[in-house]
Amino acid sequence: MALAFLSSAGAQQDSPHPDAASKRLSQAVFAGGCFWCVEADFDKLNGVVDTVSGYTGGHVSNPTYEQVSHKGTGHYEAVRVTYDPDVVSYDTLVSYFFHHVDPTDPNGQFCDKGDSYRTAIFVNTDAERETAEEEIHEIDESGMLKAPVVTKVLKAETFWPAEEYHQDYYKKNPLKYRFYRTTCGRDDTVRDVWAKADSH
């Protein structure tokens, strides 16, 4: 993700999707490198009703993309996923997330390197933590990857939605998005990382 954008948006960790209360929806937050790509991937999963790109895990309030990318705020680029637990389980979300990233890279994801591009799962409950950690244990024990999983499981913190420009980027700028995703090597790398697992 090469460009910096300077507008900002307010925190919404405690402000669920408008339909969350009436439909009993749940939310989960995942960091998997470029949030444009994570958002696009989760939008394809049945049971996901909303995705928001943003920042979490840092020490600056209301951060901008410029700050997160270049000024060491400690934030991760992340996506808040609102989902219907009657359609898709949290376990499925976690497994889906892992199979769309390289969880063995401690330095970032694909062509994007730096702390803000590392992988992490932000959990709200002990049950979510147990699910995420069990998935990591099973992946490592299976030997399906060439290196151990380094994805962190962290307590959920304030989620700051990113600038409006970043929301649904893959829909608003399809040509630029596809060019970025291809040249960054995301899909090719994911296939290579998970090749052994997919062959079974």
Q: For the chain, which residues make up each domain, given as ranges?
A: 21-198
Dihedral (CA of 85, 120, 55, 183) sign:
negative
pTM greater than 0.85? yes
Residue 14: pLDDT over 50: no
pLDDT digits (tens, 9 = 90+) for 34-88: 999 999 999 999 999 999 999 999 999 999 999 999 888 999 999 999 999 999 9
Would you call 111 a catalytic residue per the annotation?
no
Instruction: Report the topology of domain 21-198.
Output: Peptide Methionine Sulfoxide Reductase; Chain A (3.30.1060)
Q: Average per-residue pLDDT in the chain?
A: 90
According to DSSP, residue 104 is labeled T
Catalytic, out of 34, 37, 111, 184: 34
At 52 the pLDDT is 98
Sequence-ordered list of residues with C-beta below 8 angstroms from that of 177, at least 6 positions apart, any chain: 36, 40, 169, 170
Half-sphere exposure of 78 (CA within 13 A, CB side): 30
